[in-house]
Amino acid sequence: MKILVSILLGLLAIGAVAQGNDDLTMNNNRFVKFLASGNVDDGVKIGRFSGNALRVSYQGNVIAFDALDNRAIIFNNAGNQTKIQLHPAGKSFIKGGDFGVGLSNPDAKFHVLSDAVDINSTDEKAANLIIEASSGTRSMNEGATLGFVIPANTNGGNAWQQGRIMVTPNNESNANASGRMLLQTRYYNSGSWEWQNNLTLTAGGSVGVDVINPTEKLEVNGTIRSKEIKVEAAPWPDYVSLRGTGFLIWELQRTS
């Protein structure tokens, strides 16, 4: 490998051109062509094609390392479209195809394969996918969020985030990693778009429906419609506590 690199550098330094079978040519000290045939577009090109980019090209498919803005890109000859871009400070992306982590045959745009997580694991990093939110404080009003975007217009355009899963601290105490999970949907309220706290799960096991900080095992802000309510004597008391004002009629059937 070192010998090959030395030969290539030597050819670049003296501007050499091998014309026997057109298997190696140099163009204005900018790039070297390794030709597969007499057609200059069939071979491999290595060098500075334009700007500050170092490129490796084969039949219009290019890998480029751009020193100007510190990015690496891969694009093909179909409309000169960028297919892959890696950028430390800008946007990195992959267009077309499926992307797999831990497997070579992904079945979706983003497919992760890793070891199963034990339900009783106490490792705070035990997960197949981690979404981490950076914040300078511990606030119950901020959290890590997974959003779901779908079109807002009937023609498929105007994409908006219309649902999300958010995890926030369950408290604002230092060194207390108790969490709270919210399932939210976007809704229009008096001229502005807001988030509805459809379902809240707290660290203490309380569940809130349209209640962001439930204190009971089940707390509902609204009307409950049920086909049946079952009250059991064991392992808890067989009664229902009714609080508040208004007229409530309950028909309870005790089961043993």
Per-residue pLDDT tens listing for the chain (256 residues): 444 344 444 444 444 444 444 444 555 545 565 555 545 455 566 665 555 566 676 666 777 776 656 666 766 655 567 778 787 778 888 888 899 999 999 999 999 999 999 999 999 889 999 999 998 899 999 999 999 999 999 999 999 999 999 999 999 999 999 999 999 999 999 999 999 999 999 999 999 999 999 999 999 999 999 898 777 767 776 666 665 555 555 555 555 5
Q: Which tokens in the block code for residue 183? A: 């399932």
- With a CB cutoff of 8 Å and minimum separation 6, the contacts of 246 are none
- With a CB cutoff of 8 Å and minimum separation 6, the contacts of 202 are 170, 180, 208, 213, 214
Write the DSSP symbol of residue 170: S
Q: Cα separation of 142 and 203, whole Å?
A: 16
Task: Check residue 168 and give its pLDDT.
Answer: 96
Q: Cα separation of 197 and 92, whole Å?
A: 33
Q: Cα separation of 165 and 178, whole Å?
A: 17
Write the DSSP symbol of residue 67: T
Q: Which tokens in the block code for residue 48? A: 């500075």
Among candidate residues 66, 67, 70, 75, the one with its CA nearest the CA of residue 89: 70
Q: Cα separation of 235 and 118, whole Å?
A: 29
Q: Cα separation of 138 and 141, whole Å?
A: 9
Q: Which tokens in the block code for residue 57? A: 């090209």
Write the DSSP symbol of residue 18: B
